[in-house]
Amino acid sequence: MFETRTYDDPDVLPAAARNHWRFIETNSAAAVMKAVCAAEWADIVSVLSSYRLNPSTWLRKGGNRGDIAKEIDQLFQALGWKEARLDLETKGILYSKDQTLLGELPPVYQEGYLVDNFKGRVVLDVEWNAKDGNLDRDLASYRSWYEAGVISAGVIITKDRLSLLELARRVWQTYQDTLTELERVKELP
């Protein structure tokens, strides 16, 4: 996979969304979504353009579904997105070299999992307090569903942990500067 940056094009993603979020895409996903899933892309742009983090929610534990994820999900639900489980059933059909039907394999059923938001042919998960296993599962499922032809795109909204760590370090250092030398602790707790 190659990382692309079609979201930098203001015709694809307006500054109102681009300036408040950090984006990572592969395979020109933003431009493709704008062209192929225009209504769903418009919803995503609308939510990302309007939603702002409320500082009172930053320091609360997220648990399974924290306040930030719930707030973002509610914005998508108001636009017609639904929580849904996407299952697959695959059936093999055997043909000879001359295209004569040889038979069929029994269908294979693969139970999926609930995605936070589904509309049209787009899945969108808000993994604000994501664990690595969740992101791996989401990406693997998106790839599988895309290759099976049942979705056109998958989106994950998550927090940028590196910038949060940098902020925590700056706040910690500012706090440490108010302490006497004996009270100071060099590392974040």
Tell me the per-residue pLDDT of 148-170, one tens digit each, with 9 for 90 and over: 999 999 999 988 766 666 776 77
| pTM attached to this predicted model | 0.80
Fold of the 3-158 domain: Restriction Endonuclease (3.40.91)
The reported pLDDT for the residue numbered 63 is 55
The reported pLDDT for the residue numbered 64 is 55
Mean predicted lDDT score pLDDT of the chain: 88
Kindly give the residue spans of alpha helices, DSSP state H, lying in 26-111: 29-36, 38-50, 55-58, 67-78
Mode of pairing for the β-strands spanning 108-110 and 88-90: antiparallel
The segment(s) of the chain belonging to CATH 3.40.91 are 3-158
Tell me the per-residue pLDDT of 31-81, one tens digit each, with 9 for 90 and over: 999 999 999 999 999 999 999 987 767 655 555 567 889 999 999 999 999
Taken in order 48, 112, 35, 42, the sign of the CA dihedral is negative
**Is there a contact between 115 and 86 (Cβ–Cβ < 8 Å)?**
yes
Taken in order 21, 133, 131, 170, the sign of the CA dihedral is negative
Backbone torsions φ then ψ of 7, nearest 5 degrees: -65, -15
